[in-house]
Chain A
Amino acid sequence: MRLRLVPRLKPSPVALYGAPVLAIALTVTFGFFLFLGIGRDPWAALYAYFIAPVNSAFGLSEWLLAALPLALIGLGLAVGFRANIWNIGAEGQLVLGAIGGGAVALALWREDVPGTFVLVCVAGALAGMAWAAIPALLRTKFNANEILTSLMLIYVADQLLGWLVHGALRNPQGFGFPESRLFSPEAVMPLLWPGTRLHIGWLALPVAALAVWFLMNHMVAGFRLRVGGDAANAATYAGFSRSRMVWLSFLLTGGLAGLVGAMEVAGPVGQLLPKISPGYGFAAIIVAFLGRLNPVGVVLAAHLLALILIGGENVQMLGVPVAVAQLFQGVLLVTLLASDVLVRYRVVRVGRLGERARG
């Protein structure tokens, strides 16, 4: 007798909600013994990890703020991934958005242009799209693998940002330190929740989630993307242009990632620094899959990952080494990803008969 997985025709509603709970329960148990093993109070550590970061109004606002970049990029990625188009370089597109938005903010520094922040966001989105257009162009014109080119462009983008904040965009009054001026108030994202750092950019999240849902479920382009992902041959026979799908998904993700980059520098950061993102572009890939490439799922997954990120910082304040926090994060991700199988598959026992066919 062996166990094997049989695909479900419809995701099981019990498993849909039960699987993540199971995964978190497993990880929390692991974490309990891990923290105990390194001589920390496991209850206090788990509390610091999952509850303390979000049990105040400010904590809540920080949670929403940290989830915003993950969710926006994750939404864009989910569209491309549905079509089997692999933009791994959202991190680079984010950095370019920061550069583009930052350049506009600095060009209009002390020019008293009301609403500069809108221009900053637009410039960021455009810069992210331009950066995403490179792998899209190389894919469609030269057949170059988009995973590789978008990945390589992350490093190039990082160096470009470094070069600019060490040179052209450096604060002239900043004693040569590698950072730009602080943006003028007009260029800074207005706050959505006064007293916190949550800015009006957050409103882009429901808009983007709705738009992606509408695109994927009610528009011809979305249908083509899904067919392109599920049955590439069928898409070809139907005359769907692969190139257009590549362009659509890259420009969408690039635009969202660029917007995120601009909103980070014009929002909580307030200036250009050599490093803007703690890896949102990479984490968003995990977010996209944890969210099952579904807009609602992506938004939920982004909040889970943001909590893990903040919790990892918080638990260090109790003296838990960052290595342990990172290990815990890794285990949580692995169990979350693994538990997803229960949603899509049933576990059934098979006897000898089932074995035969497998050769």
Chain B
Amino acid sequence: MIDSALMIAILVSAMRTATPLILAALGELVVEKAGCVNLGVEGMMLVGAVTGFAVGLTTGNFALAFMVGALAGAGFSLIYGVLVLVFQVNQYAAGLALTILGGGASAFWGQTWQGRNMRGLQPVELPVLSELPVIGVMFTRLDVVVYMALAATVIVGLILTRTRVGLILRAVGENHDSAHALGFSVVKVRFAAIAFGGAFAGMGGAYLSCVMTPLWIEGMTAGRGWIAVALVVFATWKPARLVLGAWLFGLVSVMQIHGQGLGLAVPSHVLAMLPYLVTILVLVLISRDATRIRLNAPGCLGKPFRPTA
């Protein structure tokens, strides 16, 4: 019943669904590696989505749209940074406040941009790969951001594990008191990580408003920021696993829709639960091995840092 063309279509759709999640979750992963949990991803994505759309529509330049979306997300995330790092506010409360503020701010500014149509970023044809039999067609139907998100995951993974910058970041997240004693500025490192997280959440939002559904509507992220937060833990703070998790999530969402179109009669509510249940299940399977998850979870995750002069 499912032929190869349909398989490819499902994969393409799943990868497109996964891309904004990969971007936002990758940003959050870096934030968490530095020891902070930012639950404001949804708000930052909305800010990135509206600015990305505004720039994309007015200039037609999507590279610029993503850059400005990233900048907006990063700028917005600094509110969280100031609350948490300067004002010593609890991270979870600050993140939730950011989500509420982001919803309001994006809707407020987005009033001008609502109801405008735009031709979104189009797919690119990859040389060589698109010549492959059967799966080649897949590489004609994905846009450049899909590949860039994957490249970013690899780069972030390498930076985290192979470079001094990554080492410092992980040290700060693992034990901020030791890192502080060693002379690293915990606050500066975390500010940088938070801004990075904001930038990637902003790009994730811009992907929605410039590629996936090229339009701006208030609240258009519809909970994807929360899924991005979930994915980070699901991936046990490992970039490669994050991509797999996002693809799995995308695949389950798309498969349940295809299943219905092909006549699978399961209550839609039950199908809609599936991605979340699968996430919980996989998390349980991964976490059962206590040592493995502890190796990856940043030691100071969620704990406030008070520099002791």
Contact = CB atoms under 8 A, between A and B. Distances in A.
A–B touching in complex (CB under 8 Å): yes
Interface of A: 5, 7, 81, 84, 86, 88, 138, 142-145, 147-149, 151-153, 155-156, 159-160, 162-163, 166-167, 282, 285-286, 288-290, 321-331, 333-334, 337-338, 340-341, 344-345, 354, 357-359
A288 B229 CA distance: 21
Contacts of A156: 273, 276-277
A345 B87 CA distance: 9
B293 interface: yes
B83 interface: yes
A325 B218 CA distance: 14
Interface stretch (B64-72, B104-112, B117-125, B166-174): B104-112
Q: Report the 7 A-B pairs with minimum CB-CB distance, sorted nearest first.
A: A330-B101, A326-B104, A327-B104, A323-B107, A163-B269, A359-B183, A289-B93
A328 B37 CA distance: 24
A333 to B, nearest CB: 4
A251 B163 CA distance: 44
B104 A328 contact: yes
Contact of A359 (B39, B184, B223): B184
A99 to B, nearest CB: 13
Interface in B89-135: 89-90, 92-94, 96-98, 100-105, 107-108, 110-111
Given A144-B280, A148-B280, A155-B223, 4 more contacts: A152-B277, A155-B272, A340-B89, A345-B88
Contact of B87 (A88, A149, A340): A340
A354 B111 contact: no
Interface of B: 37, 39, 79, 82-83, 86-90, 92-94, 96-98, 100-105, 107-108, 110-111, 180, 183-185, 218, 223, 226, 229-230, 233-234, 267, 269-270, 272-273, 276-277, 279-280, 283-284, 287-288, 290, 293, 297, 302, 306-307, 309
Contacts of A358: 185, 307, 309
A160 B260 CA distance: 19
Given A326-B103, A334-B79, A148 B184 contact: no
A37 to B, nearest CB: 10
A338 B82 contact: yes
B283 A167 contact: no
B105 A330 contact: yes
B287 A333 contact: no
A77 B306 CA distance: 24
Contact of B229 (A5, A7, A138, A151): A151
A207 B110 CA distance: 45
